[in-house]
């Protein structure tokens, strides 16, 4: 063999060795994502990405489809008692875990007993701490009793953390080690997790939905740098990537084999104003700031057009969201309101951002410029994660809280208005408890939010949330800025992978041509 | 000589202890509560309290310190606050990729840099010198991330010759080591040149030439050996820096190395990982310095150790 030929042959061999495995002619999908996974245990995960990935091998009683609509998954149906305390859940039959265990009510009990036990110290404890007890009625019926009525409970079950782990595996590996040996009912079984490189899952032959999954393996590959993520899409090393940086969108669009998709999201970006401090204690000042901000400009300049001006406090797509309209951009009106409030020449204040990435930098700069137009001078600080925790999220005494104008974002991971309003605008959610960084307190809004949780009647709930959102709009503790769009790219050969409105993924229909 | 090495190794312990104390104090002085960060963006105070207990951060600081010291002495660095995997595994997984990348980068950049340096010195102020130094200055001034992206765009995306990201085969090493070594090669070239230029003007070189030795013997036998001392010092320093992991190159090429681990750890205030990494980096530097000192003696036997 000539030397060149030999190297060529070697190269081919090593390539073959790379792609070899049980599924030779197989459909292997590679998804390039933006950061490494923290855990495979959804009950101990707080990042959307790890939870999205865990949907490869785990399923919950309920779940969301790609448009964030609530659907039963392992559950067949449920009944709620009149007092809103007891949920009786019928389970689907004939479902098996990857380890061969039958899926029955004891699995439901094992999982909720685990998360509600504070000794297990799971990060999602709070989401389920309202559960008083879980009982097995018969093999395919489970009964969950709550401590207090909580009408969004089924949404909590549908939350990506609320999965059913095999009780046998839980017993075998224990509370901590289960994260390295995930065993669920999902379409794929866990193969390997190389923390620095990738996480691989393979088709589960005994999956209960016949004909699924349609591909043989999925490799979740974290690629941190956004330019490199664009590069692996262009070379074909990955078939899907999210997020695509706005400035790379056109480059990828130009490639005939790639599609770039901008999907709507429930991620709201807003500016909160500390309503306990002067001058933001005056509603006129807060309204003036709303009038002074050109949301279109922010969407165009900072988000490259991949965002829409916020026309509500709770984004469309979250259950019970109400459109209150985009606050009009009107500098004259803003100045007039400031004058009425006693600040004809404006004032000086702090403008903080919860993030220090380039988009946040652009947003705050645009905000600074626009506020300048009405005489409000701002000093920008982009907080690094540790500083944010120190100065905002863990600040103990509300009276001395240094936060004034604060640029931040939120997405309601339960897809329901309660988690979009209560952590952010409820009177008892001031930091350090939750994230009411506006230190907003309105008796009317508090009553609405509280009562909505107590009622199981949907029309009554809708009415209460509508009233809450309209009151918030008028009181203006925030200047809602934009709803983000989620920019992803996929190879035309790949179908069925979608970004969900909360930034998670749906890949039940994943297929490769 | 052996005695000298043993003495130096014994000196390691107190140095590392001081570094350990300092790094422990500094990480705990960083603003931001790791429990709050680990608990995530929408955690309630109860959850934060649970996470704090879980991570052992509710204990008094002296107790945490004693635990850190006793653990470290036994080689147990605890578990990462972020991933809950043992710190030793986290570091071990990433050490070899960083190490091999450092070795390959150093290998080509030392050979290339010294060749350019020698050529430039021998043909000082002639065209090989000008060309060599132009290359060297570009090597220093071209930012690594830009070089990395340009290389990736050209060789992976456009030509399709080399893989983009990862560290699986030798082909994965080519682009990152080129990127990482460029600046080192440039520094080595300039260092070798200046050290060589000095030496070539020395009396013994003139004597060697007067004896009628071939120019190549003069340059390589009499010149190179003596010019190497400062070059080796620089080499050691560069090697130490690269072993710490290059953040830029690791991010661009998605390299599973120590630099990214450190950045992630600082971001999440992952105390055990930061502490272990800083200790490791100090240890590496001390060892490299020792090796450099020993090399001095091999290069120039007139150097004595006490």
Q: Among the residues of B40-86, which ranges form H helices?
A: 45-55, 61-73
**What is the distance in angstroms between the Cα of B104 and the nearest Cα belonging to chain A?**
20
| B165 with A389: Cβ contact below 8 A | no
Determine, for residues B169 and A18 on separate chains, whether the beta-carbon distance falls below 8 Å: yes
In chain A, which residues have their Cβ closer than 8 Å to the Cβ of B97?
196
Using one digit for the tens of pLDDT, what is the confidence trace for A122-131? 888 888 989 9
The answer to whether B174 faces chain A, any CB pair under 8 Å, is no
**What are the pLDDT tens digits along chain A (513 aa)?**
344 444 444 444 444 444 444 444 678 999 999 888 888 999 988 788 889 999 999 999 999 888 888 899 999 999 999 888 999 999 999 999 999 999 999 999 999 999 999 888 888 888 898 999 999 999 999 999 999 888 889 988 999 889 999 999 999 998 888 989 999 999 999 999 987 788 999 999 999 998 889 999 999 998 888 888 888 898 888 999 998 988 888 889 998 999 999 999 999 999 999 999 989 999 999 999 999 999 999 999 999 899 999 999 999 889 899 999 899 999 999 999 999 999 999 999 999 999 888 889 999 999 999 999 999 999 999 988 778 888 888 888 888 999 999 999 998 888 889 989 999 999 988 988 888 999 999 999 999 999 998 888 889 999 999 999 999 999 999 999 999 999 999 999 999 999 998 888 999 899 988
Of A124, A228, A423, the CB nearest to B252: A228
Nearest chain A residue to B261 by CA distance is: A196
The minimal CB distance from B256 to the residues A197, A390, A432 is found for A197
Degrees, nearest 5: CA angle B242-B247-B248: 105
Q: Could A18 and B31 be called an inter-chain contact, meaning their C-beta atoms sit closer than 8 Å?
A: no
Task: Report the pLDDT value the prediction gives residue B120, as an integer from 0 to 100.
Answer: 87
B42:A232 CB<8 A: no
Per-residue pLDDT of chain B (306 residues; tens, 9 = 90+): 778 888 888 888 888 888 888 888 888 877 777 887 777 766 777 778 887 887 778 888 888 888 888 888 888 888 887 777 888 888 888 888 888 888 898 898 889 888 888 888 888 888 888 888 888 888 778 887 788 888 888 888 888 788 877 777 788 888 888 888 888 888 888 888 888 888 888 888 888 888 888 888 788 777 788 888 888 888 888 888 888 767 778 888 888 888 888 888 887 788 888 888 888 888 888 888 888 888 888 887 777 766
A194 with B93: Cβ contact below 8 A: yes
Q: How many CA atoms lie within 13 A of B205 on its CB side?
A: 20
Contact of A421 with A465, CB cutoff 8 Å: yes
**Is the CB of residue B253 less than 8 Å away from at least one CB of chain A?**
yes
Write the residue in B31, B97, B169 that is nearest to A387 by C-beta. Answer: B31
B199: left (phi over 0), alpha (psi -120 to 50) or beta: alpha
pLDDT tens column, A455-500: 888 899 999 999 999 999 999 999 999 999 999 999 999 999 999 9
Contact yes or no for A18 and B93 at CB 8 A: no
Give the C-alpha distances (Å, rounded to integers) separating A227 from A182, A259, A437, B166, B186. 32, 17, 34, 14, 26
Q: Please give the residue of chain A at the shortest CA–CA distance from B254.
A: A223
Query: How far apart are the CA of A461 and the nearest CA of chain B, in angstroms?
Result: 23
Q: Nearest residue of B to residue A384 by CA position?
A: B267
Contact A394 B149 (CB under 8 A): no
Q: Tokens 């410029």 identify what position? A: A369
What pLDDT does residue A276 have? 93
**Is the CB of B106 inside 8 Å of chain A's CB atoms?**
no
Contact A380, A15 (CB under 8 A): no
pTM for the model: 0.81
A129, A179, A228 member nearest B165 (Cβ) = A228
What is the token pair recorded at A395?
């600040």
Using a CB–CB cutoff of 8 Å, tell me whether A258 touches chain B: no
Contact with chain A for residue B38, Cβ under 8 A: yes
What is the count of residue pairs from A and B with beta carbons less than 8 Å apart? 124
- Mind telling me how many Å the CA of A121 is from chain B's nearest CA? 5
Residue B41: predicted pLDDT: 67
Compute the distance between CA of residue B52 and CA of residue B66 in angstroms, rounded to an integer.
Answer: 18
Cross-chain residue pair B165–A227, CB shorter than 8 Å: no
Residue of B165, B169, B249, B274 for testing the chain A interface, max A β-carbons within 10 Å: B165
Best residue in B31, B42, B93, B250 for a mutation probing chain A (most A CBs within 10 Å): B42
Q: Which residue of B has its CA nearest to A396?
A: B45
> What is residue A42's DSSP assignment?
G
pLDDT of residue A503: 86
Q: Is A348 exposed, middle or buried (0-12, 13-18, 19+ CB in 10 A)?
A: exposed
At residue A25, the pLDDT reads 61
Burial A359-374 (b: 16+ CB within 10 A, else e): bbeebbebbbebbeeb
A137 vs B: CB within 8 A: no
Query: Do B84 and A176 lie within an 8 Å CB cutoff?
Result: yes
| Tally of helices (H runs) and strands (E runs) in chain A | 16, 21
Q: What is the pLDDT of residues A213-244, one digit of tens each?
A: 999 999 999 888 888 888 889 888 899 999 89
Provide the pLDDT for residue B140: 79
Number of H helices and E strands in chain B, helices first, is 14, 0
B172 CB within 8 Å of a chain A CB: no
State residue A373's pLDDT score: 92
pLDDT at A22: 43
- A432 close to B (CB below 8 A): yes
Q: Output b/e per residue, B138-169; b: 16+ Cβ within 10 A.
A: ebeeeebbebbbebbbebbbeeeebbbbbbee
Q: Do A231 and B36 touch (CB under 8 A)?
A: no
Q: Is the dihedral of CA B51, B54, B60, B61 positive or negative?
A: negative
């Amino acid at each position: 063999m000539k030397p060149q030929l030999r190297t060529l042959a070697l190269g081919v061999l090593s390539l073959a060795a790379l792609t070899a495995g049980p599924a030779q002619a197989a459909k292997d999908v590679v998804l390039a994502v933006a950061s490494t996974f923290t855990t495979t245990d959804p009950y101990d995960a707080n990042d959307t990405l790890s939870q999205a990935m865990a949907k490869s091998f785990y399923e919950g009683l309920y779940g969301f489809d790609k448009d964030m609509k609530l659907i039963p998954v392992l559950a067949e149906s449920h009944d709620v008692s009149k007092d809103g305390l007891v949920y009786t859940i019928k389970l689907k039959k004939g479902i098996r875990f990857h380890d061969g265990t039958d899926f029955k009510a004891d699995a439901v009990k094992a999982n909720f007993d685990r998360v509600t036990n504070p000794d297990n110290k799971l990060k999602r404890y709070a989401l389920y701490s309202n559960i008083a007890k879980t009982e097995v009625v018969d093999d395919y019926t489970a009964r969950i009793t709550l401590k207090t009525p909580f009408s969004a409970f089924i949404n909590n079950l549908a939350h990506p953390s609320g999965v059913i782990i095999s009780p046998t595996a839980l017993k075998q590996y224990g509370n901590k080690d289960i994260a390295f040996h995930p065993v669920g009912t999902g379409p794929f079984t866990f193969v390997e997790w190389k923390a620095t490189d990738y996480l691989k899952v393979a088709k589960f032959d005994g999956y209960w939905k016949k004909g699924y999954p349609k591909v043989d393996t999925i490799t979740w590959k974290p690629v941190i740098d956004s330019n490199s993520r664009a590069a692996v899409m262009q070379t074909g090393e990955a078939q899907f990537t999210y997020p695509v940086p706005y400035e790379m969108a056109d480059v990828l669009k130009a490639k005939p084999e790639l599609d770039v998709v901008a999907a709507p999201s429930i991620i709201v970006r807003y500016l909160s104003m500390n309503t306990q401090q002067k001058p933001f204690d005056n509603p006129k000042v807060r309204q003036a700031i709303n009038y002074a901000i050109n949301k279109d400009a922010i969407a165009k300049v900072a988000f490259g057009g991949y965002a829409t001006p916020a026309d509500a406090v709770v984004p469309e797509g979250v259950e019970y969201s109400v459109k209150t309209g985009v606050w009009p951009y009107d500098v004259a009106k803003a100045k007039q309101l400031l004058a009425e409030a006693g600040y004809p020449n404006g004032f000086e204040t702090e403008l903080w951002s919860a993030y220090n990435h380039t988009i946040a930098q652009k947003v705050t700069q645009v905000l600074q410029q626009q506020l300048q137009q009405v005489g409000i001078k701002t000093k920008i600080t982009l907080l690094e994660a540790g500083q944010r925790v120190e100065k905002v999220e863990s600040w103990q005494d509300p009276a001395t809280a240094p936060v004034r104008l604060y640029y931040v974002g939120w997405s309601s991971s339960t897809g329901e208005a309660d988690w979009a309003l209560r952590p952010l605008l409820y009177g008892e959610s001031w930091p350090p408890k939750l994230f009411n960084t506006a230190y907003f307190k309105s008796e009317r809004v508090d009553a609405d939010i509280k009562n909505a949780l107590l009622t199981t009647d949907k029309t009554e709930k809708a009415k209460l949330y509508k009233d809450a959102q309209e009151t918030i709009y008028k009181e203006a503790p925030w200047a809602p800025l934009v709803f983000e769009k989620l920019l992803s790219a996929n190879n035309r050969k790949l179908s069925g992978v979608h970004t969900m409105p909360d930034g998670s993924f749906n890949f039940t229909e994943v297929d490769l041509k | 000589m052996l005695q000298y090495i043993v003495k130096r190794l014994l000196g390691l312990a107190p140095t590392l202890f001081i570094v350990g104390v300092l790094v422990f104090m500094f990480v705990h002085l960083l603003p931001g509560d790791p429990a709050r960060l680990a608990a995530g963006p929408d955690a309630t105070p109860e959850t934060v309290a649970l996470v704090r207990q879980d991570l052992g951060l509710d204990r008094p600081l002296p107790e945490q310190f004693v635990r850190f010291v006793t653990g470290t002495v036994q080689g147990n660095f605890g578990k990462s606050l972020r991933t809950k995997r043992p710190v030793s595994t986290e570091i071990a997984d990433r050490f070899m990729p960083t190490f091999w990348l450092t070795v390959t980068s150093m290998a080509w950049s030392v050979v290339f840099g010294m060749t350019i340096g020698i050529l430039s010195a021998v043909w000082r102020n002639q065209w090989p010198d000008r060309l060599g130094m132009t290359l060297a200055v570009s090597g220093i001034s071209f930012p690594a991330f830009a070089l990395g992206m340009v290389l990736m765009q050209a060789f992976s995306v456009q030509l399709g010759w080399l893989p983009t990201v990862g560290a699986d085969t030798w082909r994965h090493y080519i682009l990152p080591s080129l990127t990482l070594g460029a600046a080192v090669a440039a520094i080595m070239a300039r260092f070798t040149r200046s050290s060589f230029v000095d030496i070539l003007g020395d009396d013994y070189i003139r004597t060697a030439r007067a004896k009628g030795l071939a120019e190549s013997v003069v340059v390589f036998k009499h010149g190179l050996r003596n010019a190497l001392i400062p070059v080796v010092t620089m080499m050691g320093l560069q090697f130490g820096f690269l072993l710490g992991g290059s953040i830029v190159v690791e991010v661009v090429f998605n390299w599973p190395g120590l630099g990214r681990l450190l950045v992630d750890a600082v971001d999440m205030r992952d105390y055990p990982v930061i502490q272990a990494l800083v200790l490791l980096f100090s240890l590496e530097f001390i060892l490299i310095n020792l090796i450099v000192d020993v090399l001095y003696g091999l290069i120039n036997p007139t150097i004595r150790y006490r």
